[in-house]
Amino acid sequence: MLRDLPDPFALTIFKFYKTLNIMNVQKVRWHGCVTRINSLMPMATSAIYVKNHFDHEAKQQVEEMISLIMESFVDLLVTEDWLTKETKQFAKQKVNEMKRKIGYPDYLNDPAAVNAEYKTFTVYPGHYYQTKFSFYEQYQRDVLERITEPVDRERWVAGAALVNAFYSPNTNEIIFPAGILQPVFYSKDFPSSMNFGGIGVVIGHEITHGFDDRDNMQILCSLITIDNNIHVYMSSHPFIKASRYLLLSLTMSHIILCLSALLVTVSGAPTDCRCPDLMSKKGESSHDYLYSEMSGCTRNLTCYKDYETFVTFKWANSEVEQPADSVDDFGFITTELDRNLPIGPMIDIFSFFGIICENNEWYVTKYPVGIIYMDDGGSYLNHDTSVENEGKKSKLESWSCELA
């Protein structure tokens, strides 16, 4: 409450938190205002946020990641010798029953539906506290009214404009708001390795919350929702017996939770990235290069110093229009040393050329210095239309590192 008062009062609470090492820098007033309105009207701010800042393709990709990580989780469950056969079956069923909520509720796309959610809320212009407590009061009324109504299992317990994620034990669901489906956790332009190392670990973490001990210290993995009913299904005795050799107490369970989530995520990450091994695309004249992840997930592919990086494609397999005077089937995209662009270890092939994977094929989507091609006179010309062609896909034929 003190933070909402004028600066002399807000400074008092800041000094208190600073003494406790909770806060080192006082938040500016506008930040507090935005935070407060996001708390009081989460779906209103969420509707604006997803309209302006959310990549809707994220829903499908994160859905696929969750499926892979859940499959991995189940595979790991069956190998645990401290779980009984019956417990493993219930745990597997709990994972399969786990509901997913990704991004935001669909009704946020309908302004009328969002307005209806706040139709009973009263704003008192110029009276902050009266408005604030009016909102609190109406929120509690809404909660009480829902007690006598059928449970709305599509209702979200949080807004979308949050950098957070949740597991709800009452409904056995995992929730990933739009706010966390952003860099550095996730981007459709990130390689799979980065997405699984970012939002993937969060997914594994939330799934694992469904099997932690925070709801009942005597019952581990205790709740499962089947046919809208909650069942207790597991005794913790085998776990406690096994954990004596590892832990002094169960207060470290959250640490184990994080480690388990990481293990589940690494196991669930696809090893082929749904594309062929990029090493198979290496040109015959290619020399020394640096790389990581030798499977189809090859990333950070670079040439050594003084080597020029370039990729080739066929005009027939490109969305870029072939120049009228081009007589060759191929186009070349290069770093071209005379343009003072980064070469060797400084260049990240994937971001520089915009290489993506679609339908088990590699594509180039960026042409930073244009496209090199051969004309009818045998000369190599530069089709310098890098800006207008950006985003157009060209199927990758090969990549090379050649001595400059």
Task: Write down which residue in 212, 244, 270 finishes a domain.
Answer: 270
Q: What is the pLDDT of residue 252?
A: 46
Per the CB < 8 A criterion, the answer to whether 359 and 242 are in contact is no
In a domain, residue 160? The reply is yes
Closest CA to 342 of 380, 288, 306, 373: 306
Domain housing 357: 278-403
pLDDT for residue 49: 96
What would the mean pLDDT of 165-177 be, rounded to a whole number? 92
The answer, yes or no, to whether residue 340 has pLDDT greater than 50, is no
Asked if 214 and 251 count as a contact pair (C-beta separation under 8 A), the reply is: no
Q: What are phi and psi of 29, to 5 degrees?
A: -60, -45
pLDDT, position 182: 93
Question: φ and ψ at 280, to 5 degrees?
Answer: -70, -10
For residue range 108-117, list pLDDT tens digits in order. Answer: 999 999 999 9
Alpha carbon 262 to its chain centroid, in Å, reads 15
Task: Report yes or no on whether pTM surpasses 0.95.
Answer: no
Q: What is the DSSP string of 66-84?
A: HHHHHHHHHHHHTT-TTS-
- Residue 2 near residue 23, CB atoms below 8 Å: no
Pairing of strands 289-292, 394-403: unpaired
d(CA 398, CA 312): 5
**Do 75 and 186 reside in the same domain of the chain?**
yes
Write down the mean pLDDT value for the chain. Answer: 77
Of residues 161 and 237, which shows the higher confidence score?
A: 161
Q: Kindly calculate the radius of gyration of the chain based on its CA atoms and give it in whole angstroms.
A: 27
Residue 284 inside a domain? The answer is: yes
- Whether residue 236 is found in the same domain as residue 376: no
Confidence of residue 251 (pLDDT cuts 50, 70, 90): very low
Angle ∠(175,358,69) on CA atoms, nearest 5:
35
- The residue written with tokens 């704003």 in the block is 123
In the block, residue with structure tokens 């003190």: 2
The domain total for the chain is 2
pLDDT of res. 247: 47
CA atoms of 134 and 288, how far apart (whole Å): 68
Last residue within a domain, chosen from 253, 270, 287: 270
What is the enclosing helix (H) or strand (E) of 7? helix 7-19
Element (H, E) at 394: strand 394-403
The residue that leads in pLDDT, 353 or 202, is 202
The answer on 182 and 74 residing in a single domain is yes
Angle, helices 253-268/58-77, rounded to nearest 10 degrees: 110
Co-location of 238 and 358 in the same domain: no
Selection from 10-19, 135-144, 206-215, 232-241 with the highest mean pLDDT: 135-144
Note whether residue 183 is domain-resident: yes
Nearest to 177 by CA among 270, 43, 290: 43
State the average pLDDT over residues 163-173.
Answer: 91
Give the confidence band of 321 by pLDDT, cuts at 50, 70, 90: confident
Residues 176 and 258 occupy one common structural domain: yes
CA–CA gap between residue 70 and residue 172 (Å, rounded): 14
Residue 27 placed within a domain = no
Contacts for 223 with CB less than 8 Å, ≥ 6 apart: 169, 172, 215, 230, 231, 232
Asked whether residue 22 is domain-assigned, the answer is no
Looking at the fold, whether 242 and 282 belong to one and the same domain comes out as no
